[in-house]
Amino acid sequence: MEFLRHEDYDNHQWLQLIGDVDDGFIRYGKNSGIKMIREFRDPFHGIDIKVPHPEGTCNGTYVSPPLPHPTVNECNGDVAGWGGDLMTFYGEWRRDSGSYSSGYTYCMEKLAKLDAAGTLKLRDLVEDADGHNIAMMVRANKTIVEAVEAYYTSGGHLSRFRQFYSDRFQDAIKGKKIVERIPTNDIYPIISAGRL
């Protein structure tokens, strides 16, 4: 996870959020001739997945798994994935709000769209769901290689959003509480600082 995220998701903010990457392991991988995989075609949606994004999400969810009750992840795992994208999307809406009649209109034009500009387009949601789902497979004792292979070649990706929703949000009432807490939470300083 760290090797696949290190080129895009290894700065001071990520250090504060989920910790540093193992530089010795990154050097070992590079010295062994392992090539960084940057993109691959999603077998279901046919969109290009940018590997560092789901692996940043995966690493965050792995080191800071969701808590069993509806709250923002105490260890920042949500913000490493969908929560961080949601905060960025909200900031983009606030920036652009003068050009839109409502937040609803903004979401209808930009949220989960194939070709929309900004964050939380379909690719971002796919990458966040995949990263979360694969991390949970690794937490359930699969290696990262086994989890990725099973997910993309044995049909796990076909129910990616159902898996992600049921695992992270469980139901609409808990999901609403979780989603509301991301842009409004002032309990965890790292989350508040990232939001700013």
Residues 6+ positions from 158 with CB-CB distance below 8 Å: 44
Which residues span the domain enclosing 56? Answer: 2-195
Give the pLDDT band (50/70/90) at residue 70. low
Range name among 86-95, 148-157, 179-188 with the lowest pLDDT average: 179-188
Q: What is the pTM of this model?
A: 0.91
94 CB neighbour count, 10 Å cutoff: 12
> For the chain, what is the radius of gyration of the CA atoms?
17
Average pLDDT rounded to a whole number, residues 95-122: 90
The residue ranking higher by pLDDT, 67 or 63, is 63
Does the pLDDT at position 147 exceed 60?
A: yes
Given this model, what pLDDT does residue 69 score?
Answer: 66
Given this model, what pLDDT does residue 32 score?
Answer: 95
Residues 6+ positions from 141 with CB-CB distance below 8 Å: none
Does the pLDDT at position 80 exceed 60?
A: yes
Crossing angle (nearest 10°) for helices 52-63 and 122-139: 40
When divided into structural domains, the chain yields a total of 1
Give the pLDDT band (50/70/90) at residue 97. very high
The residue ranking higher by pLDDT, 49 or 68, is 49
Residues 6+ positions from 95 with CB-CB distance below 8 Å: none
Work out the percent of the chain whose per-residue pLDDT is above 90: 60
User: 2 vs 36, 60, 74, 99, 161, CA distance in Å?
Assistant: 11, 10, 21, 39, 24
Give the pLDDT band (50/70/90) at residue 42. very high
Q: To the nearest whole number, what is the mean pLDDT of the chain?
A: 89
User: 55 vs 66, 91, 101, CA distance in Å?
Assistant: 16, 23, 36
